[in-house]
Structure 1
Amino acid sequence: MSSQVEEALQALGARLRGFRKDAGFSSGRAFAHATAWQESKVSRIENGKQRPSEDDIRVWCEATGQGDQLGDLIAIVRHVDELWLEMRRLLQTGAEKRQQQAIPVYGKTKVFRIWHPTVVWGTLQTSEYASEVFKQVVSYYGIPDDAEAAVAKRLERQQYLYQGDRIFNVLLGEQALYTNFGGPEVMKGQLDRLLAVVRLPRLSLGIVRRSAPTAIWPGNSFSMFDEKLVLVETYSAELSVSQPREIEMYAKAFALLQQSAVYGAAVRDLILNAIQHFGRMPTD
């Protein structure tokens, strides 16, 4: 069990223990008697040694009069289930499957909040840029080389930029305009693509300048889908956040990052500067 899962279960157990005591059950034995459970089960749950089921949470809330906490606690349990997906396991059959899994999430989402400090967001990538990204993914994780198929699935997500009434709030760090995937020609093509999509009516593209005063440290990239899910990628794992209180923290972080961003003409100027930078580089 990862330390993150252990910490989450311990925090959940402490919260449930507080509910039990507040309800007048002075011991785990008394609570076990009231719920027809084994005393050892109560102890394991309260000490973070056992993951409670959703039904266990319902029983606990009913017995302690905490019905208004049910939704939040069930979200915590689901969060524990999803907390860490090892990247190798996620990608064990290649990168295409992971890209396919994202498409239904995009189809259901109405409001996107995206933060990428160093890389252009996948849905705004050109095929050439995305291909270079997936070559690195295949090499780094030592997975089957299905980069071409993965690129096709990633580009399939771009349909949502033009369909329905979805809102895309995208923030990139200025470094994302300069992180070199594939050389000057690939980068110039990608930057031209950004100049084109910045005019889309339901896309808000902000850039956080390298020297911009910050209201919060940049942190990892994350993608927020409505108020339901946040995905955070690291080198070793993908963190899936679904607990309402944690989602609120990411929403707050995004709002603070927005304070440091520029928009409109300033964004176009930054992109044009980056194009000029790559234009001066040798292509060999």
Structure 2
Amino acid sequence: MSTDFQRAREELGRRLRELRVDSPLGRLTGTETARRAGWPQSKVSKLENGRQTPTDDDLRMWAEAVGQPAVYPELHARLKGLESHIRSWKRQLAAGHAPVQERWNSLVSGARTLHTLSSAAVNGMLQTADYARCVFDYHATLQNAPRDTEAAVRARMKRQEWLYRPGKQLHLLMPESVLRVRICPPEVLAAQLDRLLGLVGMDALNLGILPLDAPLRLIMGNSFSLLDERLVVMEDWHAEIWLDDAESISLYRRVWDTLAESAVYGTEAQRVISRVRRGLTG
């Protein structure tokens, strides 16, 4: 869980405690508040100490329990602020991968420039349909999500049209290890590597490969995308983290720029991809 998210959750907990202590009904104890809300006392403690994220219904119930229903809109806004920064995969994938892909298509559509680090798999903008199919199948199993693989693949392929629109630019970094990961059958990976070879030199794509033996000034972290210097979307196993504050955006851009210094491009990138491709055939 991100530090920023946890800090905001703790701040929300402090606000809940403040409302309880300053209740117009008198200074309520945690036990009294729990009884009025119909909860176990432990839930009040977890909410106030930032150890549990409240639901919208929890906040409405809290406002009523402490005799201050008028503060619910404020609490609701605070919760929305939390949710805008951390987007649970469990919640996002409740209806399958396709809706998530469509939302990403809408998000990316308005961007002119993307700076992306893909540290775990070939970036979705460059995936073949068969490669994407393997990725979605594995993630659906991991997250116990509905299997709508074909719809998700179609949505991801549609997003790739972005690369062919005027004025768009994708600056992409991928470590060589991504080219070697066997998350799909060898023939699917071979076709994926062939596609990458064909895309090197594309006007809208600045593809940098970080060779296995390249000296790095930073440890490779999670995959992330920076959209037009206004939003960072970072991927983790449990959720996407959305960051739109200037400090975080500046930090992630520095991370990208630092790693980019160790990457190879153009003909050198093709050599690395070809080397991996030949090893796969062997």
Query: TM-score, structure 1 length as denominator?
Result: 0.73
Does the aligned pair in 2 maintain the 1:96–1:153 contact within 8 Å? yes
Pick the aligned partner of 1:177 from 163, 176, 179. 179
In structure 2, relative to structure 1, the CA distance for the partners of 1:79 and 1:164 (3 Å cut) is farther
Q: Secondary structure at the match of 1:91?
A: helix
Aligned to 1:277: 279
Figure out how many residues of one structure are paired with residues of the other and give that number.
226
In structure 2, relative to structure 1, the CA distance for the partners of 1:195 and 1:81 (3 Å cut) is same
Q: Secondary structure at the match of 1:262?
A: coil
1:48, distance to aligned residue in structure 2 (A): 9.9
How do residues 68-87 of structure 1 correspond to structure 2 at under 5 angstroms?
80-87=82-89
Q: Which runs of 5+ in 2 are unaligned?
A: 13-26, 28-47, 51-77
Aligned to 2:198: 196
Aligned to 1:151: 153
Alignment pair present for 1:6 and 2:6: yes
Aligned to 2:211: 209
1:254, distance to aligned residue in structure 2 (A): 0.4
- For the residues of structure 2 that align with 1:78 and 1:167, how far apart are their CA atoms? 32
Q: Secondary structure at the match of 2:232?
A: strand
Q: Which amino acid aligns with 2:263?
A: A
How large is the RMSD of aligned CA atoms in angstroms?
2.8
| % same residue | 31
In structure 2, relative to structure 1, the CA distance for the partners of 1:81 and 1:184 (3 Å cut) is closer
Q: Secondary structure at the match of 2:95?
A: coil
Q: Which amino acid aligns with 1:5?
A: F
How do residues 221-236 of structure 1 correspond to structure 2 at under 5 angstroms?
221-236=223-238
- For the residues of structure 1 that align with 2:141 and 2:167, how far apart are their CA atoms? 38
Q: Which amino acid aligns with 2:278?
A: Q
Task: Tell me whether 141-150 or 1-10 shows the greater mean CA deviation.
Answer: 1-10
- For the residues of structure 1 that align with 2:116 and 2:242, how far apart are their CA atoms? 14
- For the residues of structure 2 that align with 1:115 and 1:79, how far apart are their CA atoms? 26
1:8, distance to aligned residue in structure 2 (A): 3.6
Q: Which amino acid aligns with 1:131?
A: R
In structure 2, relative to structure 1, the CA distance for the partners of 1:83 and 1:188 (3 Å cut) is same
Query: TM-score, structure 2 length as denominator?
Result: 0.73
- For the residues of structure 1 that align with 2:258 and 2:93, how far apart are their CA atoms? 33
Q: Secondary structure at the match of 2:145?
A: coil
Q: Which runs of 5+ in 1 are unaligned?
A: 13-39, 41-46, 50-75
- For the residues of structure 2 that align with 1:238 and 1:177, how far apart are their CA atoms? 23
